[in-house]
């Protein structure tokens, strides 16, 4: 059990997850399934997106939408039910018109419309320029006629949605955002940034986007305060060329989290980076390639008890192996170094997308969907991971056990204050962000400990993120510490 929990902590440290009450649940995960086809290969299929819909108290389903290129002037949006694997069906199509980039608001009961499962947003040049449209999907599997939501003399493109909160897009190098007001109503759009911007990405009360400066793409962000007022944009990362930005939360509420993953090109290779936008610690995930990796990641917030949540993370990306472009992902509670080849083909597999596609009585159904080049076209392939979560309600955490560490961040010495309920000998293990134990020490029963920033060999450790594991009898505690210079 300790080895398995160690692996979870490794992953948490890498992408800056805080895990609360880890002893309250057992999460059993199988391996990814053999790849299966979602579409045919008669034409090109791109940009899959999953919508998570409610089927009852203990059950939810998933619909996958994607773009299907009919010809150079026509793109349709198609759909398939992942839960029941129904045949693919055409949703939005008109000859000579492009329908693309679907996103969703998902409804889960009161006070939302009882007969509406989804709001489907998409971009289309139905009126000439690319505008943003909305169609409502009902429980009887019908779509309403698309409504124009945002349009201008320019193109509204690179749409992104944060469920029941905001919608963002790009227009002529500007980043636009609008607040959802209910029904089909949105507030007057605001301009977050107006020069050389693209690819906005929404999180909870935050927007992140790419901004071109001196021919390289920097990452910028802006925050929304408690009064729903957007602040001035600021630089998040300005080294090299950055792209493929995306929050690691599911597109489907309530699974989103403000942790960002992207890839950076610097001189000769692409590398995956991540950061928790609550503390802005940049983590080099040490996954590199001479070709774009197209990383995507997923956090699943699973309510364990009233007082805690368990964060489970999955990472996927595309990388060459044995002369073929393949898809990699991790399946169990493993560090990102344990991602393995889940596509296993001799052709080109690229641009993976990962999200939740259903839930049934304690099991989450996760799908990794990617594009495969076959018969001269791009076909959508998928692999499924069933993650079972069992809750042990009899194993209650001692909520009185409160450990404090200070100062945090620190540069010379970290003080660790333990509660009086710890009255046995203590073992302290310190992990670096790669999941390696860099220092261990043992103490008799004490209420005050300290770490002098040195590893087991007496060398000062570099600045970065570290995890502190404290063991006492059958009790185990974890804290996150940041070493600064």
**DSSP codes, 343-363:** S--SSEEEEEEEEEEEEETTE
CB contact at 8 A, 221 and 215: no
pLDDT confidence band for 303 (50 / 70 / 90): very low
The span from the CA of 126 to the CA of 132, in Å, is: 10
Higher-confidence residue: 257 or 259?
259
Strands, E, within 41-171: which ranges?
Answer: 44-56, 59-71, 74-81, 89-92, 99-106, 116-127, 129-138, 147-150, 157-162, 166-171
255 band by pLDDT with thresholds 50, 70 and 90: very low
Sign of CA dihedral 17, 8, 163, 77: positive
In the predicted model, what is the mean pLDDT of residues 260-269? 93
The rounded distance, in Å, linking the Cα atoms of 226 and 223 is: 10
Cβ neighbours of residue 71 under 8 Å, at least 6 residues apart? none
Per-residue pLDDT tens over the stretch 285-296: 889 999 999 999
Q: Which of 277, 264, 209, 207 is nearest to 16 (CA)?
A: 277
pLDDT at 40: 95
Which of the pair, 275 or 23, is modelled with greater confidence?
Answer: 275
- Of residues 255, 257, 222, 260, the one with CA closest to residue 242: 260
pLDDT value of position 11 = 36
Average pLDDT, rounded, for the chain: 81
Whether 309 shows a pLDDT value over 60: the answer reads no
Q: What whole-number distance in Å separates Cα of residue 268 and Cα of residue 417?
A: 46
Quote the pLDDT of residue 300.
66
User: Residue 113's pLDDT is what?
Assistant: 58
**What predicted TM-score, i.e. pTM, was given to this entire model?**
0.76
Of residues 157 and 9, the one with the higher pLDDT is 157
Q: What is the mean pLDDT of residues 395-417?
A: 72
pLDDT of 17 higher than 60: no
- Spatial distance between the Cα atoms of 332 and 10, rounded to a whole number of angstroms: 12
- The rounded distance, in Å, linking the Cα atoms of 370 and 351 is 6
Q: The tokens of 107 are what?
A: 């409804």
User: Is the pLDDT at 447 greater than 80, yes or no?
Assistant: no
What's the pLDDT band for 435 if we cut at 50, 70, 90? low
Higher-confidence residue: 200 or 13?
200
Of 89-98, 102-111, 314-323, 452-461, highest mean pLDDT: 89-98
Q: Match 């939740």 to its residue by tokens.
A: 356
Structure tokens at 326: 């393949």
Based on DSSP, count helices (H) and strands (E) in the chain, helices before strands: 1, 37
Is the Cβ–Cβ distance between 275 and 284 less than 8 Å? no
H-run or E-run covering 469: strand 464-472
Question: Does 319 score more than 60 pLDDT?
Answer: yes
Q: Domains plus CATH for the chain?
A: 25-391 (2.120.10.30), 404-483 (2.60.40.1930)
CA atoms of 374 and 379, how far apart (whole Å): 7
User: Smallest Cα–Cα separation from 69: which of 348, 346, 380?
Assistant: 380
User: What is the separation, in whole angstroms, between the first and last Cα of the chain?
Assistant: 35
7/474: higher pLDDT: 474
- Other beta carbons within 10 angstroms of residue 446's beta carbon come to 11
pLDDT at 59: 65
Q: For residue 57, what pLDDT is reported?
A: 56
């Amino acid at each position: 059990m300790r080895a398995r929990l160690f692996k979870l902590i490794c992953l948490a440290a890498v992408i800056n997850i805080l895990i609360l009450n880890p002893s309250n649940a057992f999460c059993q995960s199988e391996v990814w399934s053999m790849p299966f086809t979602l579409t045919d290969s008669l034409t090109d299929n791109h940009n899959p997106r999953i919508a998570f819909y409610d089927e009852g108290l203990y059950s939810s389903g998933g619909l996958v939408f994607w773009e299907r290129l009919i010809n150079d002037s026509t793109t349709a949006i198609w759909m398939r039910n992942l839960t029941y694997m129904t045949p693919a069906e055409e949703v939005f199509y008109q000859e000579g018109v492009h329908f693309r980039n679907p996103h969703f608001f998902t409804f889960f009961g009161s006070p939302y419309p009882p007969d509406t499962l989804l709001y489907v947003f998409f971009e289309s040049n139905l009126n000439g320029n690319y505008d943003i449209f909305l169609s409502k999907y009902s429980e009887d599997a019908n779509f309403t006629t698309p409504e124009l939501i945002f349009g201008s003399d320019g193109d509204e493109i690179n749409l992104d949605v944060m469920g029941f909160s905001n919608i963002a897009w790009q227009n002529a190098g500007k980043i636009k955002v609008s607040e959802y007001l209910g029904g089909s109503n949105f507030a007057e759009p605001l301009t977050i940034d107006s020069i050389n911007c693209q690819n906005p990405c929404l999180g909870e009360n935050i927007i992140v986007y790419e901004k071109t400066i001196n021919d390289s793409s920097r990452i910028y962000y802006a925050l929304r305060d408690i009064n729903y007022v957007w602040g001035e944009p600021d630089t998040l990362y300005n080294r090299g060329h950055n792209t493929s930005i995306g929050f690691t939360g599911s597109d489907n509420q309530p699974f989103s989290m403000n942790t960002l993953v992207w890839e950076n090109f610097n001189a000769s290779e692409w590398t995956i980076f991540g950061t928790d936008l609550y503390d802005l610690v940049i983590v080099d995930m040490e996954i590199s390639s001479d070709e774009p990796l197209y990383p995507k990641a997923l956090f699943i917030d699973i309510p364990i008890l009233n007082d805690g949540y368990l964060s489970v993370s999955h990472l996927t990306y595309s990388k060459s192996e044995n002369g073929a472009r393949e898809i990699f992902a991790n399946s169990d509670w493993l560090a990102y170094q344990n991602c393995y080849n889940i596509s296993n083909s001799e052709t080109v597999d690229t641009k993976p997308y990962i999200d939740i596609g259903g839930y049934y009585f304690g099991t989450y159904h996760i799908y990794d969907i990617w594009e495969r080049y076959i018969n001269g076209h791009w076909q959508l392939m998928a692999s499924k991971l069933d993650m079972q979560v069992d809750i042990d309600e009899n194993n209650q955490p001692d909520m009185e056990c409160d450990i404090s560490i200070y100062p945090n961040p620190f540069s010379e010495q970290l003080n660790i204050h333990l509660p009086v309920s710890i009255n046995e000998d203590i073992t302290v293990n310190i992990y670096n962000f790669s999941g390696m134990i860099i220092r261990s020490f043992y103490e008799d029963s004490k209420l005050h400990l300290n770490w002098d920033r040195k590893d087991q060999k007496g060398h000062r450790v570099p600045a970065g993120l570290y995890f502190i594991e404290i063991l006492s009898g059958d009790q185990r505690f974890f804290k996150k510490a940041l070493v600064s210079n």
